[in-house]
Chain A
């Protein structure tokens, strides 16, 4: 039933992308229990060549999640703990003088990895945040006038704590816009938490042994296959209407940017591929409207202290924007 896609760029079809993705998610699920939907969303972001901002409380497995994805994908993982005294050079690297050779040698910083976990990104100074966010956008780092390309795939999983604001530097909206989506992992249910305990008891150690089920080349092929997913013109109009509605909503001082539209398009295509489809459905778009748009909205000041205000605004957009179906 599903049409096999054969393109010049990719030898994979959407069903194969779905199968590979399912294996990766199944592997990560050995470590992260009961969060299949979040894992699928992060997988979609990885396929869509995007970076993810995880905003959640401490102890919910954000670091474990990033590490598990890196192991399952078979790509290099680095972690940066952001602090106020962290300098741009600490994450990008720099030239160090080697006394033995008498020359300056490049020492690459932790940014030179495939998956970078930027832990508590809002604790770093704006200068350091900018260095990271520039790398996220340009996929390159400039050191001493020399431009160095970052390895591909390059994925940043950043985390921030939603409750502690003391000594933090909140990310400006322009920088938040660089993240393809903002997610929250959330607490596990009682049954899921009990399952976490049971598994820990059975394996007799803290470390979860995961297997590599993918590699960088395969991941790039999967990304190329996602580029072949068909998007109907009406679906594009639907995406544009959603984003335009965010700009027209009186509760939003600033709506989502065209980068938001692009994020929705890319994520919807990735989600279709994860489902083994060759075309995008309105449901694929709806799945990502909240995570892809919430952090791009600047609400009116009277809503800043209101709980879930951005969520409500986006839900209202979804309800009032007509889905392209058929005219009665």
Chain B
């Protein structure tokens, strides 16, 4: 029943993640927008208080003490959600090494974020009263009697900082955090899509496959491997990613449009289609053709990279 529930909701994981992100951003906004107000019951705010406040120097910005508590709460909730997501994702349920790898990567990121938050927390403690400075008090306030003076003193503190400024700064801060998270996510995805450190590594892989074949070793899924390596190569070197809904033929047209050798891409795609969808048992000649096609594509990538480097 649990797995059914997971399968029911996993297709909408994008929407769920978006909702979680939105709620987090809203909570952040709310947390920072609380100006540490401490109003007293029965004491009304003077109607011209803000006008009088403008006559003095600008007050210091005070972040709500709840801000960091809420931020940490969001952090821990996100930690639990992300681990839960990895555990329940289809890939996570299929493969233990994949699961462990994903959790380890996630924990590293979380550790980094946790340290970052702790450092921020240290630097964000409220400054002493003498550093902050007394809020401005127009002269006429002192002439109105001691009772009203006390009230105004508390109310003047209660009105700091202006809500608009607080909201703007918080929004900017939330946007900054979101941008950082997005950039981190993109980097993480790019790293996953680029298992090879360099083109040399790619060439070595292709060469190893050729050598295996020449030595007469049995390599069952040469064509599938070649196609996978082609996809990785063009993603790493040319930045061409195959989308989820893109078929091999659509991908082939895209690669040809981006200057990949048309004959090699077409041949490798046709062989791949026959093996992947046609229940076709490839012959040795087909396997050699696939490796040669991959080699041609890798060479073309290298050539294009060199040309671009020279132009730069």
Contacts and interface: CB of A to CB of B under 8 A. Distances in A.
B228 A328 contact: yes
Interface in B1-43: 11
A189 interface: no
Nearest to B246: A323
A250 to B, nearest CB: 9
Interface string B215-238: 000000000100110011000000
A296 B275 CA distance: 33
Q: Is the interface of B mostly helix, strand, loop or mixed?
A: helix
A97 interface: no
B279 interface: yes
Interface residues of A, number: 26
Interface string A255-268: 00000000000000
A318 B244 CA distance: 9
Given A230-B278, A325-B276, A283 B227 contact: no
Contact of B232 (A232, A318, A328): A328
Contacts of B242: 325
B123 interface: no
Nearest to B247: A282
A278 to B, nearest CB: 7
A277 B270 CA distance: 11
A68 B276 CA distance: 38
Interface string A232-264: 101100000000010010000000000000000
B160 interface: no
A29 to B, nearest CB: 24
Interface string A280-303: 111100100000000000000000
Given A281-B273, A328-B232, A323 B279 contact: no
Interface string B41-82: 000000000000000000000000000000000000000000
Contact of A232 (B224, B231, B279): B279
A308 interface: no
A45 to B, nearest CB: 22
B261 interface: no
B245 A321 contact: yes
B300 interface: no
A322 B90 CA distance: 13
Contacts of B193: 328
Contacts of B248: 281-282, 325
A278 B278 contact: yes
A3 B280 CA distance: 9
Nearest to A316: B245
A279 interface: yes
B238 to A, nearest CB: 15
A236 to B, nearest CB: 11
A235 B248 CA distance: 13
Max chain A Cβ within 10 angstroms of own Cβ: one of B243, B244, B247 = B247
Contacts of A280: 277
Contacts of A277: 278
Given A322-B245, A323-B247, 12 more contacts: A234-B277, A235-B277, A248-B11, A279-B279, A281-B247, A282-B277, A283-B249, A318-B245, A319-B243, A319-B245, A321-B244, A323-B246
18 contacts: A3-B280, A230-B279, A232-B276, A278-B278, A279-B273, A279-B278, A282-B247, A283-B249, A283-B250, A286-B247, A318-B245, A319-B244, A322-B244, A322-B245, A323-B244, A324-B276, A326-B227, A328-B228
